[in-house]
A and B are shown apart, each in its own frame.
Chain A
Amino acid sequence: MSQVVLMGTALIDGLFVFMLAGFIGFEVIKRISPLLHTPLMSITNALDAIAVVGAIVLVGRNESPLAHVLGILAVIAATSNIVGGFLITDRMLKMFKSSRPTKS
């Protein structure tokens, strides 16, 4: 019984985090210039691939052959998103130049 209560609390905590992160996401992303919507999509894609941590745990703990194999495939897919996503976002952003002298 206490286990169910405990997991229920974890779910509620999770929902709080989800709600707050959703609002922060809305406020932060609303302010992003349409100029950068393509790089925005590629960087959120890379950040989203943080799911790799779940896959890493699956591979590492090796609790069943199925979980092991699926975990390996999942790590491969997520890692390619992380590497490719950051790489292409960086390439895109390097291209955006102003005609005015840079005021850094």
Chain B
Amino acid sequence: MTTFAGSQAFIGIIYLIASALFILALKWMNAPPTARRGILSGEIGMVLAIGGTLLQLGVDGKLEHISIDYTWIFIALGIGTAIGVPLGLVQMTAVPQRTALSHAFGAFCVTLVGTSEFYLGTPHIPAFKMAVLCCEVILGGLTVTGSLMAAGKLQEVLPQRPITFKGQNFVNLTMLAVAIVLAVYLVHDPGATHLYPVMVGIALMFGVMLVIPIGGADMPTVISLLNSYAGLSAAAMGFVLNNKLLIIAGALDGSSGLILSVIMSKAMNRSFTNVLFGAFGQVAAAAAGGQEARPVKSASPEEAAGILAAASRVVVVPGYGMAVAQAQHKVRELYDALTKRGIDVRFAIHPVAGRMPGHMNVLLAEADVPYDRLMEMDDINGDFPQVDVSLIIGANDVTNPAAKTDKASPIYGMPVLDVERSHTVMVIKRSMNPGFAGIDNPLYYMDQTLMLFGDAKVFVSNIVKELAH
């Protein structure tokens, strides 16, 4: 018995060290110079925790005289690694869908473990354990399907437009309520094995229903929220297994996801409930239309290059369109060409530009744009009156001045980049069709605005060619 307690103390200390390393990993993530140390710290913590668990399993097996199935553990670890490596090597433009997919995998693991614990324990599961187990599998289940839906939308295998129908919110809330009622019943009677699959099934369906009405522009908030749910379900699993390392890792992930969702929804001036139940795209599409025939000024690559060459301060505003056109490398060439001429070039990054938090930063860093040239919205907004040219590449709503002035606009109140204060605004855009959210942008009709029609990648490379002359 003492040796048994000894093995518990041993694994406890290992988990304690791993917890500290996990917290340090996140602490070192705060700035680029120390961030890679953070990864190392996280990796050491992970290896310690897994190694310690394997050892303890062996010791416990000896003490309890049960044989431990190491073969399948290592086979599973091997298969997981084989799947993980390609997932770690995806293109940077595919990072949002990869992230959504990994939220699904994490929640899948948690849901499966919770389900096993239920069937192993039923009908003798103490009430509080059953309660956290229900939290674990409901949160886990809805995160699995919700994240898969999000990944499908981001990969464009599912329609990106929000899908809505009448009474959608009522249906969703009813499903959630039924799942909770079933959970309460299961806490009361953990032997009701026939109800358990129903509860999990409803959680899985709820995840699908939750993400169906969400459009591409809301993806940053939704991915962050799913991140938070994945973390909370892992923390609930920690309660079920009485494993403090899991509780800590889950709480860290949960709070990280929550902070990011708050930042994202603030950057869109919307509440969580509005993102989840608002079906943004539909309202917006109704508000657009009827404003087609207003005149705009357009310019050729030669003219654009001339204006850029004459400028002394240029701000580039990238958006999802840059990612879609894979234009980030051409943008870097433009940055180099202008910098060589002594022009000050900076990048203005709106928090919700792209499809996940920090999306634009990663793409530009991939293209070797130095990160100290990437400015946050609040840091650069005051500088726009001194900017000669703002070049907008594939961004729309985040530059829309209607958010500040037009109370009827669906994005009224959303903080935006004050590009219209710069001397000249150039917008690279495929056509005058309203963007994804379908909101008309008055910026395009302003006197200082020039529209550069064409594919972002092609247009930017034409400008670069002109500048080389």
Total chain B interface residues with beta-carbon distance under 8 A: 114
Q: Are the C-beta atoms of A99 and B373 separated by less than 8 Å?
A: yes
Residues of A within 8 A of B106 (CB): 45, 48-49, 51, 77-78, 81
> Binary interface profile of B, 33-62, with partner A (CB < 8 Å = 1, else 0)?
101101100110110011001100100010
How far, in angstroms, from A7 to B120 measured CA to CA in the complex?
Answer: 18
Given A41-B99, A41-B224, A74-B112, answer yes or no on A36-B35 (Cβ-Cβ < 8 Å).
yes
Given A47-B25, A71-B113, answer yes or no on A92-B365 (Cβ-Cβ < 8 Å).
yes
How far, in angstroms, from A75 to B132 measured CA to CA in the complex?
Answer: 21
- Closest residue of B by beta carbon distance from A99: B370
- Interface SS, B side: helix
Least Cβ–Cβ distance between A17 and chain B, in angstroms: 5
Least Cβ–Cβ distance between B326 and chain A, in angstroms: 16
Q: Are the C-beta atoms of A80 and B87 separated by less than 8 Å?
A: yes
Residues of B within 8 A of A99 (CB): 370, 372-373
- Closest residue of B by beta carbon distance from A75: B76
Least Cβ–Cβ distance between B38 and chain A, in angstroms: 7
Given A39-B362, A58-B113, answer yes or no on A47-B102 (Cβ-Cβ < 8 Å).
no
Least Cβ–Cβ distance between A7 and chain B, in angstroms: 6
Q: Are the C-beta atoms of A67 and B251 separated by less than 8 Å?
A: no
Residues of A within 8 A of B234 (CB): 48, 50-51
Q: Are the C-beta atoms of B80 and A34 separated by less than 8 Å?
A: no
Residues of B within 8 A of A21 (CB): 19, 247-248, 251-252, 255
How far, in angstroms, from A39 to B54 measured CA to CA in the complex?
Answer: 29
Most chain A C-beta atoms within 10 Å of own C-beta, residue among B23, B253, B376 = B253
Residues of B within 8 A of A38 (CB): 95, 99, 356-359, 361-362
Q: CB < 8 Å: which of B77, B89, B246, B368 contacts A50?
A: B246
Query: Is B259 close to A, CB under 8 A?
Result: yes
Q: CB < 8 Å: which of A59, A84, A91, A104 contacts B102?
A: A84
How far, in angstroms, from A33 to B223 measured CA to CA in the complex?
Answer: 18
Q: Are the C-beta atoms of A37 and B260 separated by less than 8 Å?
A: yes
Given A14-B239, A93-B35, answer yes or no on A72-B76 (Cβ-Cβ < 8 Å).
yes
How far, in angstroms, from A51 to B110 measured CA to CA in the complex?
Answer: 7
How far, in angstroms, from A88 to B230 measured CA to CA in the complex?
Answer: 19
Given A26-B255, A98-B370, answer yes or no on A83-B85 (Cβ-Cβ < 8 Å).
yes
- Closest residue of A by beta carbon distance from B111: A74
Given A28-B27, A29-B26, A48-B234, answer yes or no on A74-B109 (Cβ-Cβ < 8 Å).
yes
Residues of A within 8 A of B (CB): 4, 7-8, 10-11, 13-14, 17-18, 21-22, 24-26, 28-64, 66-68, 70-100, 102-104
